[in-house]
Structures are given as C-alpha cells and as structure tokens.
Amino acid sequence: MKIYHIVAANDWHPGQPYRAASLVSEGFIHFSRLDQVLGVANAFYAGQRGLLLLEVDVECLTAELRWEAPVHPAAPAPGTLPPESLFPHLYGPLNPEAVLATHPFEPGEDGVFTLPDGL
C-alpha cells in the first residue's frame, strides 16, 4: 500500500531521514491516501509552489503508522469517522528507504492542484 506526503522541495533531502515540523509540534507526520491528496493540497497548500509529493510504501516504514481522524479545528470527534475517512499519521521520522518516488507537485495557473501524471 502507498501513502503520500506533501513537502517543500527544500525540506526533502534524498537518502536522509525526514522529520516534518509536525513531528515536533504534533508528534507525527501527516500523510494521505492518494484519494485524499488533492483535498489536502487544495485546502492547505493552495497556490504554493516548490512542492514535492512523496510516494511512500507503508511496508517499508520503520516508525509506527496509525490511521486516525484528521487533525484540524473542523475535524469531527475521534471515533466518529468511517475508516475511509481516516488519515495515515507516522509517529517517527520517515526513513528514506520507504520513499518509492518523488513527484514535482505544483498548482496550475489558477492555484489549484491536480495529481501528477502517472498517479
């Protein structure tokens, strides 16, 4: 199974463990299933440039992965969402061996994201 993470290209260093700022502030790194990527991108990254979409193999992760409710002010109470609405959260650094591919992830002229070709 694959999961995805949006990252600023300047923050991604291939071959090195990745620690998002949220790992310190929230205790985990936010990920999405492929069908969740555009909703997250357009809600939280609209118009931002210089991004990558990391494609990650969950079977290769070395830190604990949990499927949980989204974490933001408008999120429903934990335990009230169906499984398909849960998001993957990684409770530790992302080990580089788990990253299958990095995709340039830029919004269109209108600031709206679409999935990279091939995904």
Neighbours of 104 (CB within 10 A): 10
According to the model, what pLDDT value does residue 76 have?
Answer: 43
**What is the rounded average pLDDT of the residues 37-48?**
92
């463990």: which residue's tokens?
A: 17
Q: How many residues make up the chain in this entry?
A: 119
Query: Quick one: which of 107, 102, 104 has its CA closest to 48?
Result: 107
Using the predicted structure, report yes or no on whether residue 77 has a pLDDT greater than 80: no
Task: Take residue 22 and report the two structure tokens written for it.
Answer: 């949220």
Query: Using one digit for the tens of pLDDT, what is the confidence trace for 85-103?
Result: 799 999 999 999 999 999 9
CATH topology of domain 2-105: ADP-ribosylation fold (3.20.170)
Q: Which two tokens stand for residue 50?
A: 């210089």
Q: How many CB atoms lie within 10 A of CB 47?
A: 10
